[in-house]
């Protein structure tokens, strides 16, 4: 229930921030703080997470679009570069199966035209994905950690005082997950994360 309420709040927050941010792209650029912290969320694409292999055929199972809570910390390294970290979390259900997944990454962000009002950037972060998979019918669960990658692009611009906005497009990839269960008819193959997210965050300079 709490997660659903948070999801509805995130649905309202992301488009609201986009509507507020775009008219402010023409505002003068701000001097970036050495440390910045960001909080927001994103909407992800669907994710084909499992393939069932049977003697009579294979069947794919997918999660739909997900709302992802997002936290980031940025440490300025030079005029155009920064150390970038991210921490994302989402929950999803499909039939009797559910997953809660966290992604933690650290890497580099490269900005372009830092003197401009809105600064586009590219980022790449090696990441770790930790997922807890559960099957309510069979009453079993498994927790696993897999290596992965987060890469994307976006734009950062002024919003109000020390607060900036960050609009981003990110790709998420991870290695495959161990099978939650095998049945007497066939076996389950759990795919790694492979999805895109469109996000909006508020950035505060420390």
Query: Bridge-partner residues for 41, per DSSP?
Result: 69, 200
Mean predicted confidence (pLDDT) in 155-159: 85
Please check the confidence at residue 11 and state whether its pLDDT lies above 60. no
With a CB cutoff of 8 Å and minimum separation 6, the contacts of 131 are: 99, 100, 101, 102, 143, 144, 145, 146, 177
**Residue 3 — pLDDT band, cuts 50, 70, 90?**
very low
Average pLDDT, rounded, for the chain: 82
More confidently predicted of 142 and 175: 175
CA distances for 83 relative to 109, 123, 125, 139, angstroms? 6, 9, 9, 42
Q: What is the pLDDT of residues 172-195, one digit of tens each?
A: 999 998 876 555 455 678 889 999
State pLDDT tens for residues 24-70: 544 455 556 789 999 998 989 998 988 887 777 788 888 888 889 99
pTM over 0.95: no
Q: Kindly state the average pLDDT of the residues 64-85.
A: 91
Comparing 167 with 31, the larger pLDDT belongs to 167
Q: Which residues in 131-150 are b (16+ Cβ under 10 Å) and which e?
A: bebbbeeeeeeeeeebebbb
> Which pLDDT value is given to residue 180?
64
- Average pLDDT over every residue of 192-199: 92
Q: How far apart are CA 79 and CA 202, in angstroms?
A: 21
Here the tokens at position 87 are: 């921490």
Contact 63, 92 (CB under 8 A): yes
């Amino acid at each position: 229930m709490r997660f659903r309420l948070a999801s509805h709040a995130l649905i309202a927050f992301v488009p609201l921030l986009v509507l507020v941010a775009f008219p402010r792209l023409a505002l003068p650029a701000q001097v970036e703080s050495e440390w910045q912290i960001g909080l927001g969320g994103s909407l992800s694409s669907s994710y084909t997470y499992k393939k069932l292999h049977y003697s009579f055929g294979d069947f794919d199972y997918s999660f739909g679009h997900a709302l992802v809570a997002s936290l980031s910390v940025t440490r300025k390294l030079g005029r155009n570069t920064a150390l970038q970290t991210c921490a994302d979390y989402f929950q999803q259900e499909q039939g009797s199966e559910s997953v809660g997944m966290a992604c933690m990454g650290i890497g580099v962000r490269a900005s372009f035209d830092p003197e401009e009002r809105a600064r586009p950037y590219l980022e790449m972060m090696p990441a770790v994905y930790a997922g807890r998979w559960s099957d309510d019918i069979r009453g079993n669960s498994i927790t696993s950690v897999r290596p992965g990658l987060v890469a994307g692009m976006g734009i950062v611009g002024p919003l109000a005082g020390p607060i900036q906005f960050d609009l981003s497009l990110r790709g998420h990839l991870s290695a495959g997950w161990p099978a939650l269960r095998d049945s007497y008819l066939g076996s389950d193959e759990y795919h790694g994360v492979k999805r895109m997210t469109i996000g909006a965050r508020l950035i505060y300079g420390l």
